[in-house]
Amino acid sequence: MSYQRAGGRAADALRPVRLTRHYTRHAEGSVLVEFGDTKVLCTASVEERVPPHKKGSGEGWVTAEYGMLPRSTHTRSDREAARGKQSGRTQEIQRLIGRSMRTVFDLSALGERTIQLDCDVLQADGGTRTAAITGAYVAACDAVTWLLEQGRITTSPLKDAVAAVSVGIVEGTPLLDLEYVEDSACDTDMNVVMTGRGGFVEVQGTAEGAAFTRAEMDALLALADKGIRELLAAQRAALGL
């Protein structure tokens, strides 16, 4: 018999997804993304400069930073600014978000400017990185719209949409969109990032305990595919597309 999820959620069901645009005022894009009790504030900031490796290239840059508020978690975590460095986990996640976003951008069309995505977790309940990617895409869309409205660019540098979800196997049952208690208990955990056209951007599967089989991976990829289609629809709805 399979694992019973909290609230009677089906194994292949996402948690309620909410994408609230214009959540804060100053950023060119600002989206609160909620996957159930996971809440991440994603802002997109336009900066009229590029990092050194892009200077003079005619191309722009898209990059991301990630952080968790100290008490977004069940027990308080140290504040990274106070400790004086970002953890390996933080760096891994922000690199993942940045790469995922760049996949859907035409950096030439962006011009020599940077879209800086900041993903800050207000409340964590599993899946913060996948929520961050899903929300950051919407914030990036708003920043692109702002650039178009400002006349700084004339065509959108966005080539596709991108969203992400976690999947995993808990007590033998493949589950979509793990919440914290499931994530802690799972044997295998996979984060999948896909584009609007259904291509894979990132697949990161990790055996937490025992190794996983090819059949298990296939089941997880199928679940992820289903979940990401729904997330892409939620993004389109939020953007009024």
Cβ-based nearer residue to a copy of itself, 1 or 7: 7
Stretch that binds a copy of itself, among 4-12, 148-156, 202-210, 227-235 (CB under 8 A): 202-210
What is the 8-class DSSP label of residue 3? Answer: P
Buried b (16+ CB within 10 A) or exposed e, 96-106: bbbbbbbbbbe
* Residue 63 touching a copy of itself (CB under 8 A): no
Q: Cβ(126)–Cβ(162) under 8 Å? A: no
Taking the least distance from each CB to a copy of itself, the nearer of 89 and 237 is 89
Contact status: 105 vs a copy of itself (CB under 8 A): no
| CA 9 to mean position of chain CA atoms | 22
Q: Could you tell me how many residues of this chain bind a copy of itself (CB under 8 A)? A: 67
Q: Which is nearer to a copy of itself, 1 or 51 (CB)?
A: 51
Residues 16-45 within binding reach of a copy of itself (CB under 8 A) = 24-27, 30, 37, 39, 41, 43, 45
Contact 90, 129 (CB under 8 A): no
By the 8 A CB rule, do 151 and 123 touch? no
Q: Do 64 and 118 meet the contact criterion of CB atoms below 8 Å apart?
A: yes
Q: Does 129 bind a copy of itself (CB under 8 A)?
A: no
Closest contact distance (angstroms) between CB of 213 and a copy of itself is 6
Element (H, E) at 176: strand 173-176
CB of 47 to a copy of itself, least distance (A): 7
> Should residue 150 be labelled a site residue for a copy of itself when binding is judged by CB under 8 A?
no
Contact 182, 5 (CB under 8 A): yes
| Of 90 and 173, CB closest to a copy of itself | 90
Residue 35 CB, nearest approach to a copy of itself (Å): 14
Q: Which residues contact 89 (CB under 8 A, 6 or more apart)?
A: none
* Cβ atoms of 183 and 166 closer than 8 Å: yes
Is 227 annotated as contributing to ligand binding?
no
Q: Is 155 exposed, middle or buried (0-12, 13-18, 19+ CB in 10 A)?
A: exposed
Annotated binding site for phosphate: 89, 127-129
Binding site for a copy of itself (CB under 8 A): 24-27, 30, 37, 39, 41, 43, 45, 47, 65, 67, 69-76, 79-82, 84-86, 88-92, 94-95, 99, 103, 116, 118, 120, 122-125, 160, 190, 194-195, 197-207, 209-214, 217, 221
